[in-house]
Every structure is written in C-alpha cells, then in structure tokens.
C-alpha cells in the first residue's frame, strides 16, 4: 500500500509492507513495516539512486520533521526513511501491544539488527527489484549497517556510517565497563560549563531522598531516576538541556517547581521508546545473555553512588532493572525484560570473515569523544572491515550527522566514492 503527497518542495510516498515476524519461518506470524520515501518534488520522475536511512536506537522511529542531512542527501538520492520494526507506524511494540502476546520476550527476540536487515531486503526487492541501494546508518543504524554487510552485502552498493561502528566481539559487560568512564568524563565537562549546577543537583537529589515528589503522570521521581537525566550529555544539540531544567528546579527553598517536574517527566519516561529499554543490552548479545550488564558493572564505579555524599553524577546510556519498577510505561513489561536479560544463546549479528572480505565501499565517521560508542571499539572494527575508510573527528558529538547540517554526510559521500 502506498500513499503520496507533497510538502515544502518535497514529494513523499508512504510504503507499508507485510514481513514475517521470523524470517526463518516465512509461513508463520507476520507484522507490518512502514517506510516513508522522500524525493525533491521537481525530480520525482527521475531514476535516482536510493538511499536507505537507518535511525539510531534501538527502538527509535525514523525522523518525522526536517533533519540537517536530508537536504544534502536529496541532491542526488531518493531517500527511504525506515520505521524499524516495532517503532513509529510499523506494527507497534509497547506496553499495550506486548502484554497481549503470550510470550513477549520470544516475540522481541526477532527485533534486533538481523531482523531489521531482512525487513530492509524485502523492502528493497519490493521497491527497486534486483538493484542494490545505498545505506546511511546513524548510531545504532550503523550497527545495523554492519549486520547488513554481514548478511546481505549483495543488496548494497555503498554504506555510510555516522557514530555507529560497534565492536564485532565485545560482550555487553565489556561494552558497559567501557561506557561508564566516558559518561563520567561528560559529567565533568557538563559541570565545568555549569559549576553552579553542582549545588542545585545535590539539593534536588537530597530533596528527593527525604520527600516524595510525583511527576505529572502520577509516578514518583526518585533520586536514581533523577540521575538518568545525563542521557542527553552525548549529543551536542542537547548537552545544555539539563541546565535549562535545573535552573528552574525549585519554586521555593523547599519545593520543586511544576515546570521542573513536567520537563523531567518528558526526559525520564520511556513511553515513546519502550524498545530502547527492553532491547538496549540485547543489541550487543552474540551467544551470551546480557544479564543486566550495566547494572552489574555499576558497582565498579562508586562515583555514581549518591549516598557517598559526593557530587551528583548522572547516568548515560544505561538501562537498569529498576526502570521496570518505576516507569509506568515499563512496569507491565518487567517479566519480559527479565526474560530478555536472561536469554541465551543469541545468534551472531556480525560475520568477521565476510567483513574481512567485504567488497562494498564503506565510509564511517568516528567521533573522538563519543559518549555512546567506545572509540577504541570503533577503530578496531574499522580495521576489520575491508574497504572501510574512516574519519575520526573531535569537531562533532554523537549527533554530528544531524547537528552539522549536511557537512558530515557530504564528507561521508566523498569518502565512500574516493
């Protein structure tokens, strides 16, 4: 099914296809996957090359509004914005739909990069037949692009990756053990910029220890939930967001403001991205169970312990089991989350031998101070993929693809074609 319309000099066509839930069982249950095609309106009739965009996440749908890189891409491509399975207008996976499924954990085991790639291949054949297409992967979308190169390189003519070169072999425990020091470094950068926020953050944390405060949705804001506000530190466009929340934290000396609680509610809730919480550790699993890796690694980093009385340190991209006790959007999914954390064996996501023999041109931007992806892991992987050209830069944060306008994409295009 396709629906077309025009807006702001662009032509859009919406595509919805049916794919197997499990691509190894094509006669079994099925789901729908949605993608939005975008092309410059005056070039709609041209036979342009296709560029598939894979968003970060997991569990984030493709962008709906203007993004900085899209104008650059539309100079020469017909762009396809994919709502990865379970997100956006694809068959949704959330607390309302998953609780109606007999075994939601078994269902979600088919929502990782390997299934996303197979969905993309169904879309490619549906839209362009046997022609290979280009892929642009942002963050987790870059993880998916490496899986694409491992599983179906015949569908690709070129691959561009921004901030999304993962380790091909690291366990979830290794991933998070490397992540905590990067998050602490970003905390230091934040408080160096806003030293006055040290006192405000401590006052808020102490207040939450001794007073029950409830967010507009009715759920309690606990001190450890307050610490999750550091998730935005890794993005240049959102680095300052916490400061603008903290500067209006208190309505009086002893009361938190309504504005603060409402803004925090939007930042800590996983209502719009439950798959991010459910699958974040699973995206690193190849064989072993995740076992709540971030939670267990936390004990090695006492700087985050509020009861030590030191400065408050905010968490980054970590998912903890208590999320499923304190966030109403996740509470009904606690049993599912526990089953996913305990599941083994997970199938491999990457084929090192195939990547070592790769013939598809690949370019990758590696952000030197990336909070979300370990630089050393990225550099090691860059050396393991034949034909991959990388660019390491400290000019951009993890959201450099969007925040730079078209600059990062322009360089990736030039590199992949050099």
**Enzyme catalytic residues:** 139, 370, 398
Distance between CA atoms of residues 48 and 192, nearest Å: 48
Show the DSSP H helices in 152-270 as ranges: 172-193, 197-210, 223-226, 241-246, 258-268
Return d(Cα 256, Cα 261) in angstroms, integer.
Answer: 7
Give backbone dihedrals phi and psi of 18, rounded to 5 degrees, phi first: -100, 130
Residue spans of alpha helices (H) in 57-210: 70-74, 95-98, 104-108, 113-128, 140-151, 172-193, 197-210
Beta carbons of 389 and 413 less than 8 angstroms apart: no
Tell me if residue 230 falls in helix, strand or coil.
helix
Measured at the alpha carbon of residue 305, what is the angle toward residues 368 and 177, in degrees to the nearest 5? 40
Query: Cβ neighbours of residue 90 under 8 Å, at least 6 residues apart?
Result: 31, 32, 33, 34, 61, 83, 84
Rounded Cα–Cα distance for residues 187 and 208 (Å): 20
First to last CA, the chain: 38
């Amino acid at each position: 099914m396709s629906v077309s319309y025009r807006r702001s000099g662009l032509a859009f066509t919406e595509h919805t296809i049916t794919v197997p839930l499990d691509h190894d069982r094509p006669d079994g249950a099925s789901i729908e996957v949605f993608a939005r095609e975008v092309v410059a309106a005056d070039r709609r009739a041209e036979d342009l090359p296709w560029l598939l965009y894979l968003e970060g996440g997991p569990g984030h749908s493709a962008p709906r509004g203007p993004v900085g890189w899209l104008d650059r891409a539309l100079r020469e491509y017909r762009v396809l914005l994919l709502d990865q399975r379970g997100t956006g207008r694809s068959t949704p996976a959330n607390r309302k739909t998953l609780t109606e499924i007999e075994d939601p954990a078994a269902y979600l085991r088919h929502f990782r990069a390997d299934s996303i790639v197979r969905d993309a291949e169904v879309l490619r054949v549906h839209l362009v037949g046997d022609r290979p297409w280009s892929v642009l992967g942002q963050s987790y979308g870059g993880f998916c692009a490496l899986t694409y190169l491992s599983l179906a390189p015949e569908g690709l003519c070129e691959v561009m990756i921004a901030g999304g070169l993962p380790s091909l072999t690291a366990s979830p425990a290794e991933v998070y053990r490397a992540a905590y020091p990067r998050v602490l470094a970003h905390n230091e950068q934040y408080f160096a910029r806003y030293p006055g926020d040290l006192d405000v953050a401590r006052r808020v944390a102490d207040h939450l220890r001794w007073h029950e405060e409830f967010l507009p949705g009715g759920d309690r804001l606990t001190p450890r939930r307050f610490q999750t506000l550091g998730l935005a530190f890794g993005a240049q466009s959102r680095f300052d967001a916490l400061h603008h929340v903290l500067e209006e934290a208190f309505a009086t000396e002893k009361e938190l403001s309504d504005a603060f609680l409402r803004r925090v509610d939007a930042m800590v809730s996983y209502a719009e991205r439950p798959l991010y919480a459910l699958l974040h550790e699973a995206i690193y699993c190849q064989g072993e169970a995740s076992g709540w890796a971030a939670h267990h690694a936390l004990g090695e980093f006492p700087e985050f312990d509020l009861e030590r009385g030191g400065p408050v340190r905010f968490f980054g991209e970590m998912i903890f089991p208590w999320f499923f006790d304190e966030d109403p959007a996740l509470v009904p999914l606690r049993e599912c989350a526990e089953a996913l954390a305990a599941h083994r064996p997970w199938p491999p996501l990457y084929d090192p031998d195939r990547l070592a023999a790769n013939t598809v041109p690949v370019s990758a931007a590696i952000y030197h101070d990336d909070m979300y992806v370990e630089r050393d892991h990225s550099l090691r992987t860059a050396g393991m993929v034949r034909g991959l050209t990388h660019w390491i830069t400290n000019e951009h944060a993890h959201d450099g693809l969007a925040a730079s306008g078209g600059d990062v994409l322009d360089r990736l295009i030039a590199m992949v074609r050099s």
